[in-house]
Amino acid sequence: MKNIAPTVLPLFSAIDPNHILAQVKDFIAKANTVIAKICKTPTPSWDTVLQPLEDLTTQEAMLWGPIHHLNSVVSTPALRAAYDEALPLWTDYHNAISQNAILCKLIAQIKESPAFETLNKAQKAVITHTLRDFHLSGVDLSDDKKELYRHISEQLATLSSKFGANVLDATKAYTRALHHEEELSGLPTWLIAETKKKKQDLPVLTLATPIYSAVMQFADHRPLREDMYVAYVTRASDVGPFAGEWDNGPIMKEILKLRNELAALLSFENYAQLSLTSKMATSTEEVLAFLNALAEKAVPLAKKEMAELKTFAKEQSGLSKLQPWDLAYYSEKLRLKKYAYSSEELRAYFPLPKVLTGLFALLEKLFSIQLLSQEKFDRWHEDALLYQVQNKDGHLHGYLYLDLYARPGKQQGAWADQCIPRYRDSAGLLHLPITFVVCNFSRPGNDTPSLLTHNDVMTLFHEFGHALHYLLTEIDEPSVSGTNGVAWDAVEFPSQLMENWCWCEEVLTSISGHYQTGQTLPKALYEKLLASKYYHCGLDLVRQLEFSLFDFHIHLQYNGQNSKWIQTALDNVRKQVAVTPIPSYNRFQNSFTHIFDGGYDAGYYSYKWAEVLSADAFQRFEQEGLYNGTLGQEFKDKILSRGGSEDAMDLFVSFMGRKPQIDALLMSLGIKIKPL
């Protein structure tokens, strides 16, 4: 590969909250000068209009990408204040560009000119997407409505950031000390060790994901499980231990109101319709038909699974009524009875370093890439790792940062994000992508490495699927490289696909090694795990359908209702698909960051939509070889490398030879259904 620019990794330690606002203002001022010059060009072309705009996109990423990342993984009051202060400036800057009628006209002239046909697919896609986004950003509106659009966009950016900050603060605020011996019963030794206070040798629980999940699964002390459950499901709400302190209720109402106003400005009936303009799904009816078809098959199965769990809990403990804080606990007990293994037993075989080594080996088999550890680099935290990603022949793809352990000040969950996209600048130099993968696994102990559950392993593989999409792109135009420009409901396709290998014996053998003995996962234990693959898949599916239907309905049906309507909408969805007990104080929606601060608004269904694509595509690997490097190369060439340069459905068809079928998903869940 020729003309590769030297990679300049971000200097995270040099980011000073006191200077962020000035840096953003300086960038925007210089960018506006460039845009003013573009608007005066007498001969609009790719080189005179689009290339300078693409350069600005990447220059912005180089400044804001590391700052955005730090705000997610090492949040401090000073950093958050600076971030929130700069956010409206970015929103205003982007709105000014996307509502610039002169720019829109110039780009339209390029598309209508004979020169358009001489451009490559990626460049054509950039122009097509940019013109679409101009119209979706109000370029056709009157001046007063443009101003209203900008005002709404700025408010939405601020409110979304505040929503996420409230969830982070509410999660971080809760602690529960274990004063009594009976409260320790059933808890894994790693959890007790991880949560002991330094001075008092007293376990103190938090709502960090690995700790909360372990308590709900293994704590024999029922009041402890209840306390933790109540604290978790009331975060950032009007009830619970911190009632009203970080209440996201008013913020949710305002976000929905503003999104609806934005959609109306652009002549859409609702925000869900607006959202679908950048997705594979073509109508709201299609999305609802898809979700309802899944619900039709999943609910009966979930009810059957729930009835079995109730019977088991009554037989085991005499429980006449199963409460929400009992579900994970008795589900784990029932798993142990049915399949003779516990998730904690599996954890011992999945020390994180071994899992990473095995995952890297799989990526080498499938995609002929190597991840080489880098020792010297600027870290934002001691947990951070860095890898150089290259082909076996030394062809460099980019760089990957990992930040895998839970800690205070770090957002919960797991995600992959792009720091710098792959792009070729106006001087012809190619800049390689830089990517983050962030998780919240349990921290290593004094004598033990971080030990992963099988679900943790799947999470890691999932996020690496996103990272591959960023890193293996061969598209030089940043607006459509990596996942940029990819239909939102297809973004999860590669990540969902990677999860499938977590059930394959050869992969599990390669990523496992008991942290004490080094023994790989025994075949007998693997067979038990495989036998349990469909365990409670109905309950899991209806839970995801609850999230998806709630998200879609509130964006489809909102029309100025009061704040209580959000809870009512969720209650109505639960009447359709929920089969587990849910107390009236449950405020799940108040911490639903995916749709209020994560970009999945009216698009949470994408997880299941993309799972159809992944389950269908994985059938090719099952038929032609799970470790077939030729097939892996084909997936890389036809999906991962293409970014948003081509239509997502066209890319899927190019790989599979046909459109996706829902059968594969339901078969992968142990459910049979006729094609829609």
Question: What single-letter amino acid sits at 368?
Answer: S
Contacts of 63 (CB under 8 A, 6+ apart): 23, 24, 27
Helix or strand holding residue 55 (H, E): helix 51-73
Helix or strand holding residue 386 (H, E): strand 385-391
Q: What are phi and psi of 88, to 5 degrees?
A: -60, -30
For 98-145, give the DSSP string: HT-HHHHHHHHHHHHSGGGGGS-HHHHHHHHHHHHHHHHTTTTS-HHH
Helix or strand holding residue 77 (H, E): helix 77-98
d(C-alpha 372, C-alpha 387), whole Å: 5
Question: What single-letter amino acid sits at 636?
Answer: K
Inter-axis angle of helices 77-98 and 143-173, to 10 degrees? 160
Q: What is the CA radius of gyration of the chain?
A: 25
Strand 434-441 with 396-405, pairing: parallel
Count the Cβ atoms, other than its own, within 10 Å of residue 274. Answer: 22
d(C-alpha 370, C-alpha 390), whole Å: 5
Residues 339, 502: contact at Cβ < 8 Å? no
463 is catalytic: yes
| Lookup result for tokens 């996307």 | 98
Contacts of 157 (CB under 8 A, 6+ apart): 87, 88, 90, 91
d(C-alpha 401, C-alpha 385), whole Å: 6
Question: In a 3-state reduction of DSSP, which class is residue 300?
Answer: helix
Question: In a 3-state reduction of DSSP, which class is residue 637?
Answer: helix
Residues 104, 134: contact at Cβ < 8 Å? yes
Question: What single-letter amino acid sits at 494?
Answer: P
d(C-alpha 82, C-alpha 88), whole Å: 11
Count the Cβ atoms, other than its own, within 10 Å of residue 375. Answer: 6
Residue 344: closest CA among 365, 327, 329: 329
Residue 491: closest CA among 412, 600, 597: 600
| Active-site choice (54, 183, 463, 646) | 463
Question: In a 3-state reduction of DSSP, which class is residue 431?
Answer: strand
Instruction: Give me the half-sphere count of Cα atoms (radius 13 Å) on the Cβ side of residue 665.
Output: 24
Count the Cβ atoms, other than its own, within 10 Å of residue 412. Answer: 17
Instruction: Provide the annotated active-site residues.
Output: 463
